[in-house]
Each structure stands twice: as structure tokens, then as C-alpha cells.
Amino acid sequence: MEQIPYKIYLEENEMPAAWYNVRADMQHKPAPLLNPATGAPMTEQELEGVFCSELVQQELNDTDRYLPIPEEIRAFYKMYRPSPLVRAYCLEEKLQTPAKIYYKFEGNNTSGSHKLNSAIAQAYYAKKQGLQGVTTETGAGQWGTALSMACAYFDLDCRVYMVRVSYEQKPFRREVMRTYGAHVTPSPSDTTAIGRKILSEFPGTGGSLGCAISEAVEDAVSHPGYRYVLGSVLNQVLLHQSVIGLETKAALDKYGIVPDIIIGCAGGGSNLGGLIAPFVGEKLRGERDYRFIAVEPASCPSLTRGRFAYDFCDTGRVCPLAKMYTLGSGFMPAPNHAGGLRYHGMSAILSQLYDDGLMEARTAVQTDVFKAAEEFARVEGILPAPESAHAIKVAIDEALLCKQTGEAKTIVFGLTGTGYFDLVAYAKFHDGEMTDYIPTDAELEKSFATLPTIG
């Protein structure tokens, strides 16, 4: 058998020419978004007030299996893709496991994560529609950075509402966005009505993702030529992120490798949904079986301890309702360092797959996650983002299980990004100042009480 290289790169002409739309193969489609005011499914017209028209089409399309990737987006993808599928030889040796471990590494671009895959697509459609710019929110800053890069490429105005506490604590992220010409506003701000309202009610607040979303949406709908864009959760985002899974599958196929288990971290679901999409398709069509594992922080366990119900996508309760696994939009996640996973809900697609028993989920506490991150960094040479390290933790667990049973399983996980802007968290871990937090049942009951009665 051919020797598997350390890194499998596709040729440019082997890169996917179309995104894969897993909804086309799902028997139980994800439930539609509902208008919170009427309880009726959101219409195209309603959605187009907030989102770009072509993205609305993608959001609603659950029948076309493949959607062509426009040439302009493919050209941009070629600047930083294909991303490598790496055989973790050094980790395998360190663990002394018979398992074969692979990871799809999405961190080799300046945004530092997979977020760029959807950012460039959303910016492209905004440009194509003749818009002047887009607005968004960002917490830790990966999404905001990715969108800034994409907007710089298409010469679009980019307005980012960054949670104030992150804006102050992560000046470097903010600075990268400025390098790409974005306007970054700490949220809550006095530039929007909702921002002023919150500031007057809670003077000196550090802000929240929910508030930043509300400000970004208000900014978009109140300025002609602007639309709001979102970096996760939505069907369109998972569609764009399918490029991760398609490349992974093409790379594996090249060497005749068939994975047994595919693992990804799950916050809103953009990475995991993209990584597993084509494999889920095979499973749905009965062509091949795989195990899929979503890993979420124990502090924010939407799949493992949440309810499958209609809920607001934002804590500000201005966005449409989605049917998803959720802890309730009133859930206040503990200050876990994996900012990208601190979301009360989960993509409707992944929620449906999980509810249908097609995917597993488990949790990890953050000290275990950082331990795995450090072990990985030392042997594989990549300093992972705390989010990505959730997947590493479970991949190591599964590889050690193989060591016990003697099985040589093939494990693939998604390494979504790098941790260069997360070193405050690493410092806390090294200094023994990191704590774990698991919400009590009573706390969850309280946040479930914030679920709307609609739907």
C-alpha cells in the first residue's frame, strides 16, 4: 500500500467546484425559520430585508444537492485552500495507539480559522447584489476578522460590532480587522438605538453577543445598501463550510482511506456541519456508515443537555426563531475560553441529525481541553484554538480506547484554527488559574424558562 504522506494536499483542479447541500439528502428536513411576531415561516421577502437575496435562496433551498461555487469565490479559495489533511503520525506515536489519526487543518490563513470559507461567499453575494457593505457582530473575533478580509478583497464596507469586553481584552484581533479596513465598534455603542437603550439601562456593561447581534441587525436594516451577515448556525453557512468536508473526502479517497469516526467541535455548528456534510450524505443515502461526534464545552451543553425546540437565535430576541437544540436564549454561558463555542443553540441541520440519531455528542471540561491542546501542540507543532482543542480531546480519548481494544480505527477530526490570540487563556491554564464550570440542572431549568411558547 502506498505510504500516506504527513500532509495530503489536493491539486487546485481537485478542489470542489460545488458546495454540497446536505438538506437535499435529509429525510427529515430542518424546520423552517419562524417569524416571532406571527409564528409563521419567514418568507423570502421578510428574510431579504436582513440578508442578501442570493443567500436567502441558499438558506431556503433544501432540495438541490449541489450548488456551484462561483468562479470569484473559487479564486479566493485558491489563495488559502486546499487546506491540508494531516496524518498525525507524531501524535499516534506519542499515544502508542494503533488508531490512525487525521486532522483537517483550517488555521493556515490570517483569520486563523475556517470562518473565511463562508465570509468570502457572503461578501461575494453582497457585492454581486450591488450593496455598499455588510454588518456583523463578533465575540472572540475570528468571524469579524474573516469577514474583514473578505470585504477588503471585494472592496465592501465592513462594520463589525465587537462585544466590548473582547474589544478591550483582545486589542490585537481588533487591530487585524483594522488592517483589513473594517470599522470596529465596541458593543453596546451609542451609534444604535438598542445600544443606547442598553447603555442607559446597564451603564458600564461589557456587552454580550446578543446585544452585538441586535446592534448589527439594526445598523443593516436602517441603512440602505447594507445587509447583515452571520458566521455560523444558518443553513447557508453550513452549505459554504461543506468545502471542508468535500476536500477531506477527496483527500481520503485519493489514498483509499475510509474513516470510522469523524469528530468536530460544535458551537453554532459551522465547522462540524461542514466537515461531516458529505459523509452524512453517504450515511443518509445508505452507502456507508460512519460515527460522527460533536464535542461541546461542558459549560455550554446545548446538544447533550438542551431541548429540541423553537428558540430565538440571539439573546436580544430580534432574530427569527429556529428549531434547534437549545439551552434557551436567556442562558448565560460561563466565561469559558472557547468563545466560539459559547452559544446557547445549535445549527438546525445538526440539531435535526442529532435528534434523528445520526450523530453523537459529548462534552469536555476546559482544563481537560487545554491539557489535550498542549499535548497536541508539543508533538504536532500547531498551537490549537481552544475551540478546536475540544475535538483534539475526544480524538485522543478515542485513540486511547483503540489502544485498550487493539482496534486500528481511522479517526478524522477538524482542527478549525490556531490559538495565537488565545494566549491569555493558555497563561491561565499554565498558572493553574483555570476553573471548570458545569451548569446545574436548576440553572438549566431557569434558562429553559426563557424558551418562547411559539412553534
| Site for a copy of itself, rule CB under 8 A | 5-7, 9, 11-12, 75-76, 78-80, 89-90, 108-110, 112, 149, 152-153, 171-172, 175-176, 178-181, 374, 377-383, 418, 420-421, 423, 426-427, 430
Nearest to a copy of itself of 3, 404 (CB atom) = 3
Task: Give the whole-angstrom CA distance, residue 63 versus residue 79.
Answer: 31
Q: Name the minimum Å distance from CB 76 to a copy of itself.
A: 8
Q: Name the minimum Å distance from CB 151 to a copy of itself.
A: 10
Q: Name the minimum Å distance from CB 431 to a copy of itself.
A: 9
Q: Name the minimum Å distance from CB 248 to a copy of itself.
A: 17
Nearest to a copy of itself of 312, 421 (CB atom) = 421
- Which three cell numbers, joined as nine digits, stand for 34? 419562524
Expressed in percent and rounded to 5, the helix, strand and coil fractions of the chain are 45, 15, 40
Q: Name the minimum Å distance from CB 382 to a copy of itself.
A: 6
Q: Name the minimum Å distance from CB 186 to a copy of itself.
A: 15
Residue-by-residue DSSP string for 393-416: HHHHHHHHHHHHHT---EEEEEE-
Instruction: For residue 265, give the nearest of 393, 143, 95 by alpha carbon.
Output: 393
Q: Name the minimum Å distance from CB 383 to a copy of itself.
A: 4
Strand partners, 113: 417
Nearest to a copy of itself of 198, 425 (CB atom) = 425
Q: Name the minimum Å distance from CB 84 to a copy of itself.
A: 9
Task: Give the whole-angstrom CA distance, residue 30 versus residue 237.
Answer: 14
Task: Give the whole-angstrom CA distance, residue 207 versus residue 167.
Answer: 10
Determine whether 374 is exposed, middle or buried from the number of CB atoms within 10 Å of its CB (0-12, 13-18, 19+).
middle
Instruction: For residue 51, give the nearest of 299, 296, 319 by alpha carbon.
Output: 319
423 contacts: CB under 8 Å, gap ≥ 6? none
Nearest to a copy of itself of 427, 438 (CB atom) = 427
Instruction: Please state whether beta strands 85-87 and 7-8 pair in parallel, antiparallel, or not at all (unpaired).
Output: antiparallel
Q: Name the minimum Å distance from CB 6 to a copy of itself.
A: 4
Hey, which bits of 140-222 come out as E strands?
Answer: 157-163, 183-187
Task: Give the whole-angstrom CA distance, residue 74 versus residue 80.
Answer: 10
Specify whether the CB–CB gap between 337 and 426 falls below 8 A: no
Nearest to a copy of itself of 202, 420 (CB atom) = 420
Q: Name the minimum Å distance from CB 230 to a copy of itself.
A: 22
Nearest to a copy of itself of 349, 372 (CB atom) = 372
Give the torsion sign (CA, 192, 198, 201, 202).
negative
Give the torsion sign (CA, 169, 145, 147, 298).
negative
Specify whether the CB–CB gap between 51 and 229 falls below 8 A: yes
Distances (CA, A) of 80 to 111, 160, 229, 352, 415: 11, 23, 22, 32, 15
Task: Give the whole-angstrom CA distance, residue 312 versus residue 334.
Answer: 19
Nearest to a copy of itself of 327, 396 (CB atom) = 396
Q: Name the minimum Å distance from CB 390 to a copy of itself.
A: 17
Nearest to a copy of itself of 331, 376 (CB atom) = 376
Distance of CA 209 to the CA centre of its chain: 15
Task: Give the whole-angstrom CA distance, residue 214 versus residue 314.
Answer: 8
Nearest to a copy of itself of 7, 288 (CB atom) = 7
- Which three cell numbers, joined as nine digits, stand for 443? 440553572
Nearest to a copy of itself of 112, 268 (CB atom) = 112
Q: Name the minimum Å distance from CB 421 to a copy of itself.
A: 7
Nearest to a copy of itself of 118, 302 (CB atom) = 118
Task: Give the whole-angstrom CA distance, residue 9 versus residue 6.
Answer: 10
Nearest to a copy of itself of 258, 427 (CB atom) = 427
